[in-house]
Structure 1
Amino acid sequence: MASASGYYAAMATNTRRIKATPEQVWDVLADGWLYPLWVVGASRMREVDDTWPAVGAQLHHSVGTWPMLIDDTTEVVESTPGSTLVLHARAWPTGVAQVTIRLEAAGVETDLSIEEDAISGPAVLMPKPIRDLQLAWRNTESLRRLAYVAERRSAGRTSAS
Protein backbone atom coordinates (compact mmCIF):
# COMPACT_ATOMS: atom_id res chain seq x y z
CA MET A 1 0.00 0.00 0.00
CA ALA A 2 1.45 3.37 -0.97
CA SER A 3 2.00 5.87 1.80
CA ALA A 4 1.72 9.65 1.52
CA SER A 5 5.42 9.76 0.62
CA GLY A 6 4.85 7.37 -2.28
CA TYR A 7 6.82 4.38 -0.97
CA TYR A 8 5.28 0.99 -0.34
CA ALA A 9 5.22 -0.29 3.22
CA ALA A 10 6.15 -3.92 3.72
CA MET A 11 3.60 -6.29 5.16
CA ALA A 12 4.11 -8.34 8.31
CA THR A 13 5.56 -11.66 7.13
CA ASN A 14 5.69 -15.07 8.81
CA THR A 15 7.30 -18.19 7.32
CA ARG A 16 7.23 -21.86 8.30
CA ARG A 17 8.56 -25.05 6.73
CA ILE A 18 5.81 -27.65 6.43
CA LYS A 19 6.41 -31.38 6.05
CA ALA A 20 4.11 -31.68 3.05
CA THR A 21 4.45 -30.87 -0.66
CA PRO A 22 3.15 -27.56 -2.03
CA GLU A 23 0.33 -29.52 -3.71
CA GLN A 24 -0.69 -31.06 -0.37
CA VAL A 25 -0.62 -27.65 1.34
CA TRP A 26 -2.58 -26.14 -1.57
CA ASP A 27 -5.22 -28.87 -1.12
CA VAL A 28 -5.86 -27.51 2.39
CA LEU A 29 -5.99 -23.90 1.18
CA ALA A 30 -8.29 -24.90 -1.69
CA ASP A 31 -10.82 -26.43 0.72
CA GLY A 32 -12.56 -23.29 1.95
CA TRP A 33 -14.52 -25.26 4.54
CA LEU A 34 -11.23 -25.82 6.42
CA TYR A 35 -10.60 -22.06 6.82
CA PRO A 36 -11.68 -21.86 10.50
CA LEU A 37 -9.39 -24.79 11.35
CA TRP A 38 -6.27 -22.81 10.59
CA VAL A 39 -7.13 -19.08 10.50
CA VAL A 40 -6.93 -17.54 13.97
CA GLY A 41 -10.13 -15.61 14.66
CA ALA A 42 -12.34 -17.41 12.13
CA SER A 43 -14.91 -19.36 14.08
CA ARG A 44 -17.21 -20.91 11.50
CA MET A 45 -17.99 -21.14 7.81
CA ARG A 46 -21.40 -20.13 6.48
CA GLU A 47 -20.76 -20.70 2.78
CA VAL A 48 -17.93 -21.31 0.31
CA ASP A 49 -18.33 -20.18 -3.30
CA ASP A 50 -18.21 -23.14 -5.70
CA THR A 51 -15.30 -21.54 -7.58
CA TRP A 52 -13.04 -21.19 -4.49
CA PRO A 53 -10.06 -20.45 -4.73
CA ALA A 54 -10.48 -18.80 -8.15
CA VAL A 55 -10.18 -15.02 -8.48
CA GLY A 56 -13.40 -13.37 -7.28
CA ALA A 57 -14.52 -16.35 -5.17
CA GLN A 58 -15.50 -15.67 -1.57
CA LEU A 59 -15.54 -17.44 1.74
CA HIS A 60 -18.46 -16.42 3.95
CA HIS A 61 -17.27 -16.86 7.51
CA SER A 62 -17.86 -15.60 11.00
CA VAL A 63 -15.29 -14.21 13.40
CA GLY A 64 -15.34 -13.98 17.18
CA THR A 65 -17.02 -16.20 19.73
CA TRP A 66 -20.65 -16.79 20.46
CA PRO A 67 -22.70 -14.70 21.17
CA MET A 68 -20.51 -11.95 19.67
CA LEU A 69 -20.11 -13.41 16.18
CA ILE A 70 -19.63 -11.11 13.21
CA ASP A 71 -20.40 -12.37 9.71
CA ASP A 72 -17.81 -11.38 7.11
CA THR A 73 -16.17 -12.45 3.86
CA THR A 74 -12.76 -13.13 2.38
CA GLU A 75 -12.27 -12.73 -1.39
CA VAL A 76 -9.58 -14.10 -3.71
CA VAL A 77 -7.80 -11.37 -5.67
CA GLU A 78 -5.03 -13.56 -7.13
CA SER A 79 -4.66 -17.32 -7.36
CA THR A 80 -1.85 -19.46 -8.77
CA PRO A 81 -2.53 -23.09 -7.74
CA GLY A 82 0.29 -24.61 -5.72
CA SER A 83 2.10 -21.28 -5.48
CA THR A 84 0.27 -18.07 -4.48
CA LEU A 85 -3.04 -17.02 -2.98
CA VAL A 86 -3.81 -13.33 -2.40
CA LEU A 87 -6.90 -12.52 -0.37
CA HIS A 88 -8.80 -9.49 0.81
CA ALA A 89 -10.07 -10.42 4.25
CA ARG A 90 -12.80 -8.26 5.67
CA ALA A 91 -12.83 -7.95 9.43
CA TRP A 92 -15.54 -5.51 10.42
CA PRO A 93 -15.19 -3.12 12.21
CA THR A 94 -11.40 -2.95 11.70
CA GLY A 95 -11.42 -2.87 7.89
CA VAL A 96 -9.88 -4.97 5.14
CA ALA A 97 -6.52 -6.75 5.18
CA GLN A 98 -4.57 -8.01 2.21
CA VAL A 99 -3.17 -11.47 2.88
CA THR A 100 -0.61 -13.05 0.56
CA ILE A 101 0.13 -16.75 1.01
CA ARG A 102 3.15 -18.13 -0.87
CA LEU A 103 4.19 -21.77 -1.19
CA GLU A 104 7.69 -22.71 -2.30
CA ALA A 105 8.93 -26.27 -2.72
CA ALA A 106 11.80 -27.28 -0.44
CA GLY A 107 12.41 -30.84 -1.58
CA VAL A 108 9.33 -32.79 -0.46
CA GLU A 109 8.48 -30.03 2.02
CA THR A 110 7.05 -26.53 1.61
CA ASP A 111 8.26 -23.15 2.77
CA LEU A 112 5.00 -21.36 3.44
CA SER A 113 4.79 -17.63 4.08
CA ILE A 114 1.96 -15.32 4.99
CA GLU A 115 2.23 -11.57 4.45
CA GLU A 116 -0.56 -9.43 5.84
CA ASP A 117 -1.41 -5.82 6.45
CA ALA A 118 -4.46 -3.59 6.70
CA ILE A 119 -5.36 -1.85 3.45
CA SER A 120 -8.50 0.03 4.51
CA GLY A 121 -10.59 0.93 7.51
CA PRO A 122 -9.69 2.07 11.01
CA ALA A 123 -6.86 -0.50 11.34
CA VAL A 124 -4.67 1.52 8.95
CA LEU A 125 -4.67 4.31 11.56
CA MET A 126 -2.85 2.05 14.04
CA PRO A 127 0.94 2.52 13.91
CA LYS A 128 2.48 -0.11 11.62
CA PRO A 129 4.87 -1.54 14.26
CA ILE A 130 1.88 -2.30 16.51
CA ARG A 131 -0.09 -3.87 13.62
CA ASP A 132 2.96 -5.94 12.70
CA LEU A 133 3.33 -7.29 16.25
CA GLN A 134 -0.31 -8.37 16.39
CA LEU A 135 -0.21 -9.91 12.91
CA ALA A 136 3.07 -11.73 13.60
CA TRP A 137 1.57 -13.42 16.67
CA ARG A 138 -1.67 -14.28 14.89
CA ASN A 139 -0.02 -15.60 11.74
CA THR A 140 2.56 -17.66 13.65
CA GLU A 141 -0.36 -19.57 15.12
CA SER A 142 -2.23 -19.70 11.79
CA LEU A 143 0.83 -21.25 10.12
CA ARG A 144 1.16 -23.74 12.98
CA ARG A 145 -2.47 -24.78 12.54
CA LEU A 146 -2.17 -24.99 8.75
CA ALA A 147 0.95 -27.15 9.16
CA TYR A 148 -0.92 -29.52 11.50
CA VAL A 149 -3.71 -30.01 8.96
CA ALA A 150 -1.45 -30.38 5.90
CA GLU A 151 1.07 -32.64 7.65
CA ARG A 152 -1.61 -34.92 9.11
CA ARG A 153 -3.30 -35.22 5.70
CA SER A 154 0.09 -35.87 4.09
CA ALA A 155 0.96 -38.55 6.66
CA GLY A 156 -2.42 -40.19 6.15
CA ARG A 157 -1.91 -40.35 2.39
CA THR A 158 1.61 -41.76 2.59
CA SER A 159 0.80 -44.36 5.25
CA ALA A 160 -2.17 -45.60 3.22
CA SER A 161 -0.15 -45.82 0.00
Structure 2
Amino acid sequence: MWDVLGDADQYQRWVVGTRETRESEGHWPEVGTTLRYGIGMGPLTVHGHTIVRVCEPPERLELEASAGRLGTARIAIRLVPWGEGTLITMDEHPLRGTVARLHTAPLDVALQLRHRLMLTRLRNVVEEGRSQADKEAGQHV
Protein backbone atom coordinates (compact mmCIF):
# COMPACT_ATOMS: atom_id res chain seq x y z
CA MET A 1 0.00 0.00 0.00
CA TRP A 2 2.75 2.44 0.95
CA ASP A 3 4.52 1.64 -2.33
CA VAL A 4 1.58 3.22 -4.20
CA LEU A 5 1.20 6.23 -1.87
CA GLY A 6 4.94 6.84 -2.09
CA ASP A 7 5.04 6.76 -5.90
CA ALA A 8 4.36 10.12 -7.56
CA ASP A 9 3.65 8.36 -10.87
CA GLN A 10 0.75 6.48 -9.27
CA TYR A 11 -0.93 9.61 -7.82
CA GLN A 12 -3.14 10.36 -10.82
CA ARG A 13 -4.30 6.74 -10.95
CA TRP A 14 -6.05 6.90 -7.57
CA VAL A 15 -6.74 10.60 -6.87
CA VAL A 16 -10.08 11.51 -8.43
CA GLY A 17 -9.97 14.26 -11.06
CA THR A 18 -6.16 14.45 -11.23
CA ARG A 19 -4.26 14.31 -14.52
CA GLU A 20 -0.90 15.36 -15.96
CA THR A 21 1.01 14.69 -12.72
CA ARG A 22 4.66 15.72 -12.36
CA GLU A 23 7.07 16.28 -9.48
CA SER A 24 8.40 19.79 -9.47
CA GLU A 25 10.34 20.13 -6.24
CA GLY A 26 11.86 17.43 -4.06
CA HIS A 27 11.42 13.67 -4.15
CA TRP A 28 7.93 12.33 -3.43
CA PRO A 29 6.88 11.70 -0.66
CA GLU A 30 9.57 13.57 1.30
CA VAL A 31 8.28 16.46 3.43
CA GLY A 32 8.15 19.65 1.36
CA THR A 33 7.94 17.86 -1.99
CA THR A 34 5.52 19.47 -4.43
CA LEU A 35 3.54 17.52 -7.00
CA ARG A 36 1.92 19.57 -9.79
CA TYR A 37 -1.05 18.45 -11.89
CA GLY A 38 -4.18 19.41 -13.74
CA ILE A 39 -7.54 18.85 -12.06
CA GLY A 40 -10.71 18.63 -14.02
CA MET A 41 -13.44 16.90 -15.88
CA GLY A 42 -13.81 17.00 -19.63
CA PRO A 43 -12.35 20.17 -21.14
CA LEU A 44 -12.32 22.09 -17.83
CA THR A 45 -8.90 22.02 -16.17
CA VAL A 46 -7.54 23.89 -13.16
CA HIS A 47 -3.85 23.67 -12.34
CA GLY A 48 -3.09 22.60 -8.81
CA HIS A 49 -0.37 21.22 -6.62
CA THR A 50 0.03 19.15 -3.49
CA ILE A 51 2.76 19.58 -0.88
CA VAL A 52 3.78 16.80 1.51
CA ARG A 53 3.44 18.14 5.06
CA VAL A 54 4.02 14.92 7.05
CA CYS A 55 5.57 11.64 5.88
CA GLU A 56 5.99 8.77 8.32
CA PRO A 57 6.33 5.58 6.25
CA PRO A 58 4.61 3.18 6.22
CA GLU A 59 1.74 4.56 8.27
CA ARG A 60 1.09 8.28 7.84
CA LEU A 61 1.00 10.76 4.95
CA GLU A 62 -0.39 14.27 5.29
CA LEU A 63 -0.77 16.55 2.31
CA GLU A 64 -1.86 20.10 1.56
CA ALA A 65 -3.61 20.31 -1.79
CA SER A 66 -4.15 23.59 -3.62
CA ALA A 67 -6.57 24.11 -6.49
CA GLY A 68 -5.79 27.74 -7.22
CA ARG A 69 -8.67 30.11 -6.49
CA LEU A 70 -10.81 27.23 -5.26
CA GLY A 71 -8.56 27.04 -2.21
CA THR A 72 -6.56 24.53 -0.23
CA ALA A 73 -7.32 21.41 1.76
CA ARG A 74 -5.52 19.20 4.25
CA ILE A 75 -5.60 15.48 3.52
CA ALA A 76 -4.47 13.03 6.20
CA ILE A 77 -4.00 9.37 5.27
CA ARG A 78 -3.26 6.70 7.87
CA LEU A 79 -2.46 3.05 7.27
CA VAL A 80 -2.94 0.50 10.06
CA PRO A 81 -2.18 -3.22 9.73
CA TRP A 82 -5.50 -5.08 10.00
CA GLY A 83 -5.28 -8.85 9.96
CA GLU A 84 -3.82 -9.79 6.60
CA GLY A 85 -4.80 -6.42 5.13
CA THR A 86 -4.57 -2.72 5.84
CA LEU A 87 -7.12 -0.33 7.33
CA ILE A 88 -6.94 3.05 5.60
CA THR A 89 -8.41 6.23 7.03
CA MET A 90 -8.58 9.40 5.01
CA ASP A 91 -9.60 12.80 6.34
CA GLU A 92 -9.87 15.88 4.14
CA HIS A 93 -10.66 19.31 5.48
CA PRO A 94 -10.79 22.61 3.53
CA LEU A 95 -8.29 25.16 4.85
CA ARG A 96 -8.53 28.35 2.77
CA GLY A 97 -10.29 29.86 -0.20
CA THR A 98 -13.72 29.24 -1.70
CA VAL A 99 -13.92 25.63 -0.57
CA ALA A 100 -13.28 26.65 3.05
CA ARG A 101 -15.90 29.43 2.94
CA LEU A 102 -18.47 27.08 1.41
CA HIS A 103 -17.68 24.18 3.75
CA THR A 104 -21.08 22.75 4.69
CA ALA A 105 -22.67 19.39 5.45
CA PRO A 106 -23.44 18.77 1.74
CA LEU A 107 -19.75 19.40 0.91
CA ASP A 108 -18.80 16.83 3.57
CA VAL A 109 -21.13 14.31 1.91
CA ALA A 110 -19.51 15.00 -1.47
CA LEU A 111 -16.04 14.57 0.10
CA GLN A 112 -17.09 11.22 1.61
CA LEU A 113 -18.27 10.01 -1.79
CA ARG A 114 -15.01 11.19 -3.36
CA HIS A 115 -13.01 9.40 -0.66
CA ARG A 116 -14.86 6.14 -1.26
CA LEU A 117 -14.02 6.36 -4.95
CA MET A 118 -10.38 7.24 -4.20
CA LEU A 119 -10.02 4.37 -1.75
CA THR A 120 -11.53 1.97 -4.29
CA ARG A 121 -9.09 3.23 -6.91
CA LEU A 122 -6.19 2.97 -4.46
CA ARG A 123 -7.13 -0.64 -3.66
CA ASN A 124 -7.35 -1.45 -7.38
CA VAL A 125 -3.91 0.05 -8.10
CA VAL A 126 -2.39 -1.91 -5.18
CA GLU A 127 -4.04 -5.15 -6.32
CA GLU A 128 -2.89 -4.61 -9.92
CA GLY A 129 0.66 -4.21 -8.62
CA ARG A 130 0.37 -7.43 -6.60
CA SER A 131 -0.99 -9.33 -9.59
CA GLN A 132 1.85 -8.09 -11.76
CA ALA A 133 4.42 -8.99 -9.08
CA ASP A 134 2.89 -12.49 -8.76
CA LYS A 135 3.06 -12.97 -12.54
CA GLU A 136 6.68 -11.84 -12.65
CA ALA A 137 7.60 -14.09 -9.69
CA GLY A 138 5.95 -17.05 -11.45
CA GLN A 139 8.05 -16.45 -14.55
CA HIS A 140 11.28 -16.53 -12.51
CA VAL A 141 10.54 -19.83 -10.76
TM-score using structure 2 length? 0.89
- 1:41 deviates by 1.3
- The CA RMSD measured in Å over matched residues stands at 1.6
Segments of structure 2 that go 5 or more residues without pairing to the other structure are none
AA paired with 1:31?
Answer: D
Per the alignment, residue 99 of structure 1 pairs with 75
Question: CA distance change for structure 1 residues 63 and 89 in 2, over 3 Å: closer, same or farther?
Answer: same
The 5 A counterparts of 1:41-60 are 41-60=17-36
Question: Which residue, 104, 109, 113 being the options, matches 1:133?
Answer: 109
- 1:124 deviates by 1.4
Counting helix residues as a fraction of each chain, which structure ranks higher? Answer: 2
- 1:43 deviates by 1.9
What SS does the corresponding residue of 1:54 show, helix, strand or coil?
coil
- 1:128 deviates by 2.8
Q: Deviations over 1:69-104 (max 9, x none)?
A: 222110000000110000000112220000001100
TM-score using structure 1 length? 0.78
AA paired with 1:87?
Answer: L
Segments of structure 1 that go 5 or more residues without pairing to the other structure are 1-24
Q: Given the alignment of the two structures, is residue 82 of structure 1 paired with residue 58 of structure 2, yes or no? A: yes
Q: How many residues align?
A: 137
Give the distance between the partners of 2:41 and 2:113, measured in 1 at CA.
19
- 1:34 deviates by 1.2
Residue 117 of structure 1 contacts residue 131 of structure 1 at CA under 8 Å; is this kept in 2? no
Give the distance between the partners of 1:127 and 1:79, measured in 2 at CA.
27
Give the distance between the partners of 1:102 and 1:115, measured in 2 at CA.
9
Residue 43 of structure 1 contacts residue 65 of structure 1 at CA under 8 Å; is this kept in 2? no
Give the distance between the partners of 1:46 and 1:61, measured in 2 at CA.
6
Q: Given the alignment of the two structures, is residue 120 of structure 1 paired with residue 96 of structure 2, yes or no? A: yes
Structure 1 residues 77-86 or 99-108, which shifts more?
99-108
AA paired with 1:37?
Answer: R
Q: Given the alignment of the two structures, is residue 142 of structure 1 paired with residue 118 of structure 2, yes or no? A: yes
AA paired with 1:56?
Answer: G
What SS does the corresponding residue of 1:64 show, helix, strand or coil?
strand
Q: Which has the higher contact order (CA 8 A, sep 6+)?
A: 1
